[in-house]
Chains A and B, each alone.
Chain A
Amino acid sequence: MTEFETVIGLEVHVELGTQTKIFCGCAVEFGAPPNTHVCPVCLGSPGALPVLNEEALKLAIRAALALNCTVRQESKFDRKNYFYPDSPKAYQISQYDEPVGEHGFIEITVQGEKKRIGITRVHLEEDAGKLTHSPYGDASLVDLNRVGIPLIEIVSEPDLRTAEEARLYLEELKSIMQYCAISECKMEEGSLRCDANISLREVGQRELGTKTEIKNMNSFRNVQRGLEYEEQRQKKMLLKNEKIVQQTMRFHEESGATVAMRSKEDAHDYRYFPEPDLPRISLSREYSEERRAEIPELPAERRQRFVEVYGLPLYDAEVLTVTKALADYFDGTASRVRDPKSASNWIMGDLLAHVKANGLEMEQVRVKPEQLAELIGVIEKGTISSKIAKNVLKEMLDSGKDAKVIIEEQGLIQISDEGQLREIALRIIATNKKSVEDFKAGKEKALGALVGQMMKETKGKANPQLVNQIMLALISD
Chain B
Amino acid sequence: MDFYSGLRKLHQGLISREMTPADLVNFSLEQIKAVDMQVQAFVTVTEEQARVKAEQVRENGAEGILAGIPFALKDNMCTQGVETTCASRSLQGYKPPYSATVVERLERDHGILIGKLNMDEFAMGSSTENSSLCKTHNPWDFERVPGGSSGGPAAAVAAGMVPYALGSDTGGSIRQPAAFCGVVGLKPTYGLVSRYGLVAFASSLDQIGPITNSVEDAAIVLQSIAGPDRRDSTSVQRDVPNYIEGLTGDICGLKIGVAMEYFSPSIDQKVRAAVDSAILQLERLGAEMIKVSLPHTSYALSAYYLLAPAEASSNLARYDGVRYGYRAQDAENLLDMYRQTRSEGFGAEVKRRILIGTYALSSGYYDAYYKRAQQVRTLIAKDFDEAFAKVDVLLSPTTPTTAFRFGEKTEDPLMMYMNDICTIPVNLAGLPAISVPCGLADGLPVGLQLIGRMFDETTLLRTAHAYEQAAGFAPMRPALGVHA
Contact = CB atoms under 8 A, between A and B. Distances in A.
Contacts of A51: 230-233
Given A46-B91, A79-B314, A273 B361 contact: yes
B362 interface: yes
Given A45-B97, A46-B84, A276-B204, A81 B317 contact: yes
Contacts of B370: 273
Contact of B195 (A40, A43, A49): A49
Contact of A47 (B198, B234, B358): B198
Nearest to B99: A47
Interface in B192-240: 195-200, 202-204, 230-234
B233 A89 contact: no
B96 A45 contact: yes
A126 B203 CA distance: 19
Given A40-B98, A142-B322, A277-B233, A91 B317 contact: yes
A280 to B, nearest CB: 11
A47 B322 contact: no
A433 to B, nearest CB: 91
B78 A46 contact: yes
Contacts of B202: 276
A256 interface: no
B338 interface: yes
B346 to A, nearest CB: 14
A313 interface: no
B137 to A, nearest CB: 27
A90 B361 contact: no
B190 to A, nearest CB: 10
A377 interface: no
A311 interface: no
A43 B361 contact: no
A237 interface: no
Contact of A278 (B96, B196, B233, B338): B233
A332 interface: no
A279 B77 CA distance: 22
Nearest to A273: B361
A90 B318 contact: yes
Contact of A81 (B96, B230, B314, B338): B314
B358 A271 contact: yes
A48 interface: yes
Given A50-B233, A51-B233, A88 B361 contact: no
B232 A45 contact: no
A47 B100 contact: yes
B36 interface: no
Number of chain B interface residues as a range: 35 or more
Contacts of B230: 51
Interface in B158-217: 195-200, 202-204
A85 B96 contact: no
A261 interface: no
Interface in A19-48: 40, 43-48
A140 B323 CA distance: 13
Contacts of B323: 43-44, 88
Interface string A65-95: 0000000000000010101010011110000
Q: Which of A47, A50, A279 has the most CB of B within 10 A?
A: A47
Given A45-B96, A46-B84, A49-B231, A276 B203 contact: yes
B482 interface: no
Nearest to A24: B231
B57 to A, nearest CB: 26
Q: Which of A45, A81, A269, A272 has the most chain B CB atoms inside 10 A of its CB?
A: A45
Interface in B312-347: 313-314, 317-318, 320, 322-324, 334, 338
A250 to B, nearest CB: 19
A49 B198 CA distance: 9
B91 A279 contact: no
A83 B320 contact: yes
Interface in A237-281: 269, 271-273, 276-279
A81 B98 CA distance: 25
B311 interface: yes
A377 to B, nearest CB: 56
B145 interface: no
Contacts of A273: 310-311, 314, 361, 366, 370
B305 interface: no
Interface in A196-215: none
13 contacts: A44-B318, A46-B94, A46-B318, A47-B76, A47-B197, A49-B196, A85-B334, A89-B318, A91-B314, A269-B362, A269-B363, A276-B311, A279-B234
Given A46-B78, A52-B233, A271-B358, 16 more contacts: A43-B323, A46-B86, A46-B91, A47-B197, A47-B199, A90-B314, A90-B318, A91-B317, A271-B362, A273-B311, A276-B202, A276-B203, A276-B204, A276-B311, A278-B233, A279-B233
In the A-B complex, the 10 residue pairs with the closest CB atoms: A90-B317, A271-B361, A276-B204, A276-B203, A46-B199, A47-B197, A47-B78, A47-B199, A269-B363, A44-B318
